[in-house]
Structure formats: structure tokens, C-alpha cells
């Protein structure tokens, strides 16, 4: 893949040698996947799968411990009227509130639940001067170390988009590597690293593909579209592009990397379009929390509403429901 010692020149040659994206073809494929139909009998299962894949998120300057506790309660019991409703994959908060989330989860916290042979809820913390990423490396690493020490199971870092767009690829690579190392706990276990590309600021599909490959080469456990803080976030073509990268990486190396679209996915229809895209691109084995997440704050309410309709049989009478 990368022959010889890693230098700025070799990394640049590799990334700029990646074939350009056929934007028309990519958008047509995404549009085709987005107009698939699913049986109404499968819709309830799809909605449950969506719930299991959600990172329930609050990332506001006005966040309080009480708000995080409420978020955790929602993740544990999304629908109090239905005990069969699955729990969410994770809650995503600022690093200074990670400890609050861990405490609120209690026995539902992923490491505790896993020790008891059950599926728990992870705590994800944004770090590295989220959302701008404009800080020194020392500050970014301290941000990560603080969140990991507070009990975060996952770190969502942002890349330095200015460095990337300036062609300083090795700087971005080294920063991801350093953050990955900072995710290591004293006991040798690692917090999983999600690398946020902020595709809306990368502007082009070519840049997004290069950034995806750069993050994967540097050791990302997940690649994530966005912070949710810019106008353009998780479009279906962009998610498709990133899924193609992790699929190709798996074919080359046998290593599986996850994908997390975040920002802008607000309805169950949008979420199911993403499930179809995952299954048709990377494969159904990616439809699990360790390999695919949906970062959202408002999506869950619509999914629960649609789930209640599906559970009570209030369909339109058709055998299939379109997802466009």
C-alpha cells in the first residue's frame, strides 16, 4: 500500500493517486438506493435496528449534568410504554460530562454490562477542540486523555481541516496516530477512535475520499462524516462514498472500520435509507453497533413514532413501503 518509510511525499503521492470520484455516478447510486422499497413486515425490524445503532447526542454549550442524565435515561428506556424496545448504542457528550454519563448509566454502561454478558450502552465523548479542531496538539491530547480518564469508551476527534486542505497530509496523519495512542488506558485497553472529517468543509467528494483513506491508514476505528455544526452534514452520497472506502479497505487488509453519518438524519425514512446503503455497499455484517452508527439528537422521536405505528398495525394497507 504505502511502500517504504512514511514521509509527507510518499503519503501525498498515495492520496493524490487515488482515482477521482465520479460525482454523477455516486449520486445516482445513492439516489437509487434511497428509493428502494421494503416489506411492511420488515419495517418494524428495520426500526429496531436503527434504534440499536443510534448515538444519542447532546453537544450544546448549555448542556448540564441534568440534561445528560435525561439523555441517558432516554437511551436506556427509549419507549417506557414498550419494554421490548431496544436500547441505544451510545450517548455522545462533551468530555467534561462523560463522567456524568458513566455514572448515570450504572450497570447499563457498556463495560459493566459486557462483564455480565449483556449488551450495554457506550459513552462517546467529543474531543480535540471539537468542533473546530483549532488548538495545539498538546491541548488536543490533553482533551482526549481527560475524557478517557473520565470513563469515555469512545472518542470522536475532529481532523485539522485547514492542514488537510493545505495538503499537509502527514501532519493530519500524525495527529490521528497521536490521538489513537492517547485513547489507550493504563490497563492496555483502548477507547475506540472515531475520526470526524467534517465533509461539509472539505467541499468535494475527492477531498472526502482522500480524507477517509487518510483516517483509515492512520488507524481510525470509525470514520465519521460531520460534527453536526456546519450546514452540510451526512448526505447519503457522502455516506455511500465512505462505506465504499471501508469496504475496499477490508478487501485489501481484512480489517473492518466503522462508519458514522452524523448531522441531518432526522426521520426514520432517512435512517432506513442509510441501512439499505450499508447492506448494499459494505454488507449486512456492518449493520451492528461496532461498525455502523447514526449520530442524532432528534431522530429517535420519529423512529419511536413510526415503531408504534408499525407495532399497532396502522399501515397504509400496502405490502411495501417506499423509503424515499
**Active-site positions?**
156, 224, 260
Rounded CA separation 137/143 (Å): 10
Strands 90-94 and 54-57: parallel
Phi, psi of 210 (to 5 degrees): -60, -45
User: CB–CB of 86/56 below 8 Å?
Assistant: no
Q: Which residues are paired to 56 by β-bridges?
A: 91, 296
Please give the Cα distance from 324 to 315 (Å, whole number).
Answer: 16
55/156 Cα distance (integer angstroms)? 11
- Of residues 240, 213, 196, 186, the one with CA closest to residue 33: 240
Q: Which residues pair with 295 in a beta bridge?
A: 55, 262
CA distance 291 to 62: 31
Q: Quote the CA–CA distance of 297 and 56 in Å, as a whole number.
A: 6
Residue 262 gets which letter from DSSP? B
Work out whether strand 320-322 and strand 154-158 pair parallel, antiparallel, or are unpaired: unpaired
Query: What is the rounded CA–CA span in Å between residue 237 and residue 287?
Result: 18
Amino acid at each position: 500500500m504505502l511502500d517504504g518509510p512514511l514521509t509527507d511525499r510518499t503519503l501525498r503521492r498515495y492520496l493524490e493517486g487515488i482515482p477521482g470520484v465520479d460525482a454523477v455516478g455516486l449520486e445516482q447510486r445513492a439516489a437509487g438506493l434511497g428509493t428502494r422499497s421494503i416489506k411492511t413486515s420488515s419495517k418494524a425490524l428495520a426500526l429496531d435496528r436503527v434504534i440499536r445503532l443510534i448515538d444519542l447526542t447532546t453537544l450544546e454549550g448549555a448542556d448540564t449534568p441534568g440534561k445528560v442524565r435525561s439523555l441517558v435515561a432516554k437511551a436506556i428506556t427509549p419507549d417506557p410504554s414498550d419494554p421490548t424496545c431496544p436500547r441505544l448504542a451510545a450517548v455522545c457528550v462533551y468530555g467534561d460530562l462523560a463522567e456524568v454519563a458513566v455514572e448515570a448509566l450504572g450497570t447499563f454502561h457498556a463495560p459493566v454490562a459486557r462483564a455480565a454478558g449483556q449488551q450495554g450502552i457506550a459513552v462517546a465523548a467529543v474531543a480535540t477542540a471539537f468542533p473546530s479542531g483549532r488548538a495545539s496538539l498538546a491541548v488536543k491530547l490533553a482533551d482526549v486523555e481527560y475524557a478517557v480518564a473520565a470513563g469515555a469508551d469512545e472518542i470522536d476527534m475532529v481532523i485539522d481541516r485547514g492542514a488537510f486542505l493545505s495538503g499537509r497530509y502527514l501532519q493530519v496523519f500524525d495527529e490521528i496516530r497521536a490521538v489513537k495512542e492517547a485513547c489507550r488506558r493504563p490497563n492496555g485497553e483502548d477507547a475506540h477512535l472515531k475520526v470526524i472529517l467534517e465533509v461539509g468543509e472539505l467541499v468535494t467528494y475527492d477531498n472526502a475520499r482522500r480524507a477517509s483513506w487518510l483516517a483509515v491508514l492512520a488507524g481510525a476505528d470509525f470514520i465519521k462524516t460531520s460534527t453536526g455544526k456546519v450546514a452540510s452534514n451526512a448526505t447519503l452520497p457522502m455516506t455511500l462514498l465512505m462505506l465504499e472506502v471501508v469496504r475496499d479497505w477490508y478487501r485489501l487488509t481484512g480489517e473492518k472500520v466503522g462508519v458514522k453519518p452524523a448531522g441531518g438524519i432526522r426521520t426514520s425514512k432517512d435512517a432506513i435509507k442509510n441501512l439499505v446503503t450499508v447492506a448494499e455497499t459494505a454488507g449486512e455484517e456492518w449493520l451492528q453497533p461496532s461498525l455502523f452508527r447514526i449520530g442524532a439528537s432528534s431522530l429517535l422521536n420519529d423512529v419511536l413514532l413510526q415503531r408504534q405505528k408499525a407495532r399497532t398495525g396502522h399501515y397504509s394497507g400496502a405490502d411495501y413501503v417506499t423509503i424515499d
